[in-house]
Amino acid sequence: MNLLIIPGLLLSLLVAGAVAYLITARRYNSANSVATSYDEWTQDGILEFYWGEHIHLGHYGSPARPKDFRQAKYDFVHEMVRWGGLDRCPPGATLLDVGCGIGGSSRVLAKDYGFEVTAVTISPGQVARASALTPAGMSAKFMVDDAMALSFPDASFDVVWSLEAGPHMPDKAVFARELLRVLKPGGRLVVGDWNQRDDRYQPLNFWEKPVMQQLLDQWSHPKFSSIEGFSELLEATGMTRCRVETADWSQETLPSWLDSIWQGIIRPQGLVKFGFSGFIKSVREVPTLLLMRLAFGSGLCRFGMFKAVRASDAASALGHR
C-alpha cells in the first residue's frame, strides 16, 4: 500500500501540474517581463520557500551523488569560486554579482571569501528582499541595474561574477561586452549559465524545437546561448587575455531538477503556507522542471562554465588576446 503512495503522489502532481500549465500559458515578451516575473516570484515567497535564498542549481559532485538540495546550492558557489580561482583573491577585492537574485551567492562571497560585493538585479523586489536578508555590517550591497547597460564606469571591479542570469539577456553580445567592460585589467570573470547545444553543428530536431520553445517561454528567457557561442562572444570583445576557458557541469547539476520537485513532496507545509493558489502556482512548474531534466539529461541543454581574465587596456585596444 505504502509503495503506491509516492508514485500516486508524483502522478497526481504531474497531472495537476500539466492542467495548470496548459490553462495558464506563458510567453516571453520583453525584458520588462523578466523584472515583473522576478518581482512576483519574490513577493509571494514560494520560490524562496522551496529553493531557499539561492536561485540556482546545486552541485552534486563529480560524479553526482545524493545530497541535501540546499547544501548542494551552497556547494555550487564554493565550487564556482574554486574553479574560477577566486579563492586566491585578496580579502577586500571588489566583486560585481550580475543577476544576483535575492543575494544567496553574494552573501557567501562576502562572508566566506571577504569580497566587497556589489550585486545587481533587474527586479526591485529582489533588491528589497536581498537587502532584508543581509545582516548589517556584511560587505554586500544590492541595487537595481540592467546587465544590458550597467551603470558602472569601465574597469570598476576586480572580479565579475554571474550565475544563471545569461538566459534572460536579450542580446548575448552586449551581455558579454558589459561583463568585461566593468572588469579591471587583470581582473577575473566567472560565469555559470544554462546553455543550449550548439545548433550550428547539430540543428535541433523535431522534438527538441518545441521543448526548447517551452523552456524559453516558461521562465522569461529570450534565448539560450551555446557554450561555444558565448565563449566566442566573450573573445570577440577583444577584452580577454588568452582564451576563455569553459567547462560543462551538466552532470554535476543534473539532480537539481528532480530534487526541486521532491521539495514539494517532502515539504507539504508549503501547501498550508501558500494556500490553494500557491499550490497551483507551484504545481504548474512541475512540467517545466521535467522538461529541463529531459533537456539537460539528453544534451539539448548544457550547464556552461566560463572563466576569463581581462586584458590590459593597451592590448584590448589593439584587439590582442
Ligand X SMILES: C[S@@+](CC[C@H](N)C(=O)[O-])C[C@H]1O[C@@H](n2cnc3c(N)ncnc32)[C@H](O)[C@@H]1O
Query: In the complex, which residues of this chain contact ligand X (CB under 6 A)?
Result: 31, 34, 38, 54-56, 99-101, 104-105, 120-123, 126, 146-148, 163-165, 168-169
Taking a C-beta distance cutoff of 8 angstroms, is the pair 102, 42 a contact?
yes
Phi, psi of 237 (to 5 degrees): -70, -20
Taking a C-beta distance cutoff of 8 angstroms, is the pair 123, 93 a contact?
no
Q: How far is the CB of 146 from ligand X (least distance, A)?
A: 5
Q: How far is the CB of 168 from ligand X (least distance, A)?
A: 4
Task: Residue 234: name the closest of 296, 189, 301, 290 by CA.
Answer: 189
Q: How far is the CB of 18 from ligand X (least distance, A)?
A: 24
Q: How far is the CB of 119 from ligand X (least distance, A)?
A: 9
Taking a C-beta distance cutoff of 8 angstroms, is the pair 114, 178 a contact?
no
Residue 55 or residue 212: which is nearer to ligand X going by CB? Answer: 55
Q: How far is the CB of 71 from ligand X (least distance, A)?
A: 15
Residue 182 or residue 311: which is nearer to ligand X going by CB? Answer: 182
Residue 131 or residue 312: which is nearer to ligand X going by CB? Answer: 131
Residue 14 or residue 216: which is nearer to ligand X going by CB? Answer: 216
How far is it, in rounded angstroms, from Cα 133 to Cα 128?
9
Please name the residue ranges forming H helices in the chain: 2-23, 31-43, 46-51, 69-83, 104-113, 124-133, 172-181, 208-218, 227-236, 250-253, 255-266, 269-283, 286-298, 313-318
Residue 105 or residue 231: which is nearer to ligand X going by CB? Answer: 105
Residue 146 or residue 245: which is nearer to ligand X going by CB? Answer: 146
Q: How far is the CB of 17 from ligand X (least distance, A)?
A: 20
C-alpha cell, 229: 557561442
Q: Which residue has the cell 584587439?
A: 319
